[in-house]
């Protein structure tokens, strides 16, 4: 066999290799999947698209001026939006917040003999602050979950801590489950039987160059003891 034949064979091999490579590339991605797999991927894409569409529509109806659709479906919209997706514009208000509010919790632990002991206060807001300090990509949950939950509670309860309708009950359950999830269903090997939540609000002191005077004494808002339910323990264990 001469050199010409060898060269053609080599060229043919290269051409075949290129064709096979192109075929392999062409079969990549979704096209390379089996029919059942493509059906699953397609169904998942449809579900994600529908979920995104529902979310956008619900949030739009929540923030848009009232109209016939939002009035007719107000209850369903509120159930979807509150409390996780509520829109808060206080940062842009004419009088932005001028105080720091910390949410703290303590637990009543039950011993095997039936006696109880109470823990010291745990500052949940301080934990969130420490988690995002110097973090270039802070957690959205750490920044907003507890703060928005407490705002939700404060706006749905009167001065005697009585809930204003169903949203008030929802706010109580939301704050309680956050607190139990942070503390855990057990502390020091003992079962958390009840929890108590309080807020500590401290006005922000004016800058040194200002003539404004402000009382920076902390104000406490102490809630009643809440029993920890089985559902709370299940949520805390997730």
Q: What is the pLDDT of residues 207-238, one digit of tens each?
A: 888 887 778 889 999 999 999 998 888 877 76
| pLDDT for 47 | 95
pLDDT of residue 45: 92
pLDDT band at 12, cuts 50/70/90? low
What is the pLDDT at residue 8?
52
Q: Is the dihedral of CA 225, 231, 237, 238 positive or negative?
A: negative
Alpha helices in the chain (DSSP H): 3-26, 35-63, 68-72, 74-81, 124-132, 140-155, 166-183, 230-237
Cis ω for the linkage preceding 83 (within 30 of 0): yes
**From CA 116, how far away is CA 82, in angstroms rounded?**
35
The residue ranges of every structural domain in the chain are 3-81, 99-237
Residue 24's pLDDT is: 47
Residue 4 has pLDDT above 60, yes or no: no
pLDDT tens readout for residues 165-215: 889 999 999 999 999 999 988 888 899 999 999 999 998 888 888 887 778
Q: What is the pLDDT of residues 108-142, one digit of tens each?
A: 999 999 899 999 999 999 999 999 999 988 888 88
Question: pTM here?
Answer: 0.61
Where does the pLDDT of residue 25 fall: very low under 50, low under 70, confident under 90, or very high at 90 and above?
Answer: very low
Mean pLDDT of the chain: 83
pLDDT in tens, 67-108: 888 888 888 888 888 777 776 665 555 556 678 999 999 999
């Amino acid at each position: 066999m001469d050199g010409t034949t060898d060269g053609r064979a080599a060229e043919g091999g290269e051409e075949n290799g290129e064709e096979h490579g192109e075929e392999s590339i062409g079969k990549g991605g979704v096209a390379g999947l089996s029919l059942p797999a493509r059906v699953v991927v397609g169904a998942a894409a449809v579900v994600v698209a529908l979920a995104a569409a529902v979310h956008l529509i619900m949030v739009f109806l929540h923030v848009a001026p009232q109209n016939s659709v939002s009035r007719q479906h107000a209850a369903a919209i509120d159930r979807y939006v509150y409390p996780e997706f509520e829109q808060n514009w206080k940062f842009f208000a004419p009088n932005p917040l001028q105080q720091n509010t910390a949410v703290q919790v303590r637990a009543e632990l039950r011993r095997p003999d039936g006696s109880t002991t109470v823990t010291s206060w745990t500052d949940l807001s301080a934990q969130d602050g420490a988690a995002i300090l110097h973090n270039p990509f802070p957690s959205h949950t750490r920044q907003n979950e507890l703060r928005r939950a407490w705002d939700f509670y404060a706006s749905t309860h009167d001065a005697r801590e009585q809930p204003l309708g169903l949203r008030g009950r929802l706010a109580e359950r939301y704050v309680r489950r956050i607190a139990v999830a942070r503390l855990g269903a057990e502390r020091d090997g003992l079962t958390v039987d009840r929890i108590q939540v309080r807020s500590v609000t401290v006005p922000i002191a004016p800058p040194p160059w200002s003539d404004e005077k402000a009382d920076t004494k902390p104000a406490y808002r102490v809630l009643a003891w809440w029993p920890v339910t089985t559902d709370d323990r299940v949520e805390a264990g997730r």
